[in-house]
Amino acid sequence: MLSNFNIDNIIRTALAEDINYIDITTDLLIDPSDMTKASLVAKADGVLAGIDVALRAFCFEDDKIICEKLIEDCSILKKGDVIAKIEGPTASILKTERTALNILSHMCGIATYTKKCVDAVAEFDVSITDTRKTLPGLRPLQKYAVLCGGGNNHRYNLSAAAMIKDNHVDAYGSVFNAISTLRERAGHMVVIEVEVRTLEELKEAIDAGALVIMLDNMTPEMLREAVELTNGRAILEVSGNVTLENVYEIAETGIPIISIGALTHSVKSLDISLRIEK
């Protein structure tokens, strides 16, 4: 699902950052013909994401490295699980180990946290969604990892869908004018969402015909009122400072879409290591 044209630049940059010229220790000490078997092992419970990227990183510089994937992306990982086997020249494996692990740990961290949020609200009919708060250069990997954790992707970028905010409304005098102007200019393949901060604005947006409305930083009480007030006339999305701690409380309000910036901007990596079999 991830395209190589997105992945390869990331891998190449990461290898160049980590190796630069040579691996002084490995290249000067290890015989290039020395061979090793190794395993990627989960050191904590979580969700797998990015195994194909990690294995591609291992093989990027040396096609004598052979990888066998044992677990697929989106699977639940238990501490101790062997995710994949890697076999080939010791020197090449040692040189690419850190790069592969850095990528995999980050992506699994995202999928794991996403899955926790999804599970936390499993009893409701709600979608956990990411945001544009991604790390520079890593959006393709991060958005994919959110999918692996059971989340949905919000718009990929500013060209893919529209989001009318305060400043846009101000320029047109009213939400109604902003929506109708944009509806005409943007073409028929663009979803338009409107961001509102008060119930007043919500009412106005609904009246203006908004079909998707983002409720920014509202309290659970306000959200409950918003659901009632909207009464099915628009799709509601909550955004702003949602975390695993408060996501249940928000889902309880009946809002169907909860977007969480922390999925991608505050990632705790999942501990994964390479066990070298001597």
Q: Which of residues 22-81 bind a second copy (CB under 8 A)?
A: 22-32, 34, 36, 60-61
| Interface of this chain with a second copy, residues 213 to 242, rule: CB under 8 A | 235, 237
**Residue (84 or 140) nearer to a second copy, CB:** 140
Active-site residue identified among 23, 97, 130, 195: 195
Q: How many CB atoms lie within 10 A of CB 61?
A: 15
- Binding-site size for a second copy (CB under 8 A) equals 100
Minimum Å gap between C-beta 166 and a second copy is 8
User: Using CA atoms, how far apart are residues 268 and 102, in angstroms rounded to an integer?
Assistant: 12
Active-site residue identified among 12, 37, 43, 98: 98
Single-letter code of the amino acid located at 143: K
Residues β-bridged to residue 120: none
Minimum Å gap between C-beta 265 and a second copy is 4
48, 103, 145, 263: which one contacts a second copy (CB under 8 A)? 103
Structure tokens at 41: 């092992």
Minimum Å gap between C-beta 8 and a second copy is 9
User: Using CA atoms, how far apart are residues 249 and 45, in angstroms rounded to an integer?
Assistant: 25
Minimum Å gap between C-beta 129 and a second copy is 6
| Interface of this chain with a second copy, residues 117 to 156, rule: CB under 8 A | 127, 129, 132-140, 143-144, 152-156
**Catalytic: 98?**
yes
Structure tokens at 143: 């958005």
Active-site residue identified among 165, 183, 197, 224: 165
Minimum Å gap between C-beta 226 and a second copy is 16
SS3 of the chain: the string is CCCHHHHHHHHHHHHHHHHCCCCHHHHHHCCCCCEEEEEEEECCCEECCCHHHHHHHHHCCCCCCEEEECCCCCCEECCCCEEEEEEEEHHHHHHHHHHHHHHHHHHHHHHHHHHHHHHHCCCCCCEEECCCCCCCCCHHHHHHHHHHCCCECCCCCCCCCEEECHHHHHHHCCHHHHHHHHHHHCCCCCCEEEEECCHHHHHHHHHCCCCEEEEECCCHHHHHHHHHHHCCCCEEEEECCCCCCCHHHHHCCCCCEEECCHHHHCCCCCCEEEEEEC
**Catalytic: 195?**
yes
Active-site residue identified among 61, 62, 119, 216: 216
Residue 174 as a binder of a second copy (CB under 8 A): the answer is: no
67, 77, 105, 118: which one contacts a second copy (CB under 8 A)? 105
66, 123, 171, 219: which one contacts a second copy (CB under 8 A)? 171
**Residue (120 or 141) nearer to a second copy, CB:** 141
Minimum Å gap between C-beta 113 and a second copy is 11
User: Which of the ranges 76-84, 116-124, 169-177, 217-225 carries the binding residues for a second copy, by CB under 8 A?
Assistant: 169-177
Residue 114 as a binder of a second copy (CB under 8 A): the answer is: no
Residue 203 as a binder of a second copy (CB under 8 A): the answer is: no
Active-site residue identified among 69, 133, 155, 197: 133
The answer to whether residues 140 and 178 touch, using CB atoms and an 8 Å cutoff, is no
Report, as residue numbers or ranges, the catalytic residues.
98, 133, 165, 195, 216
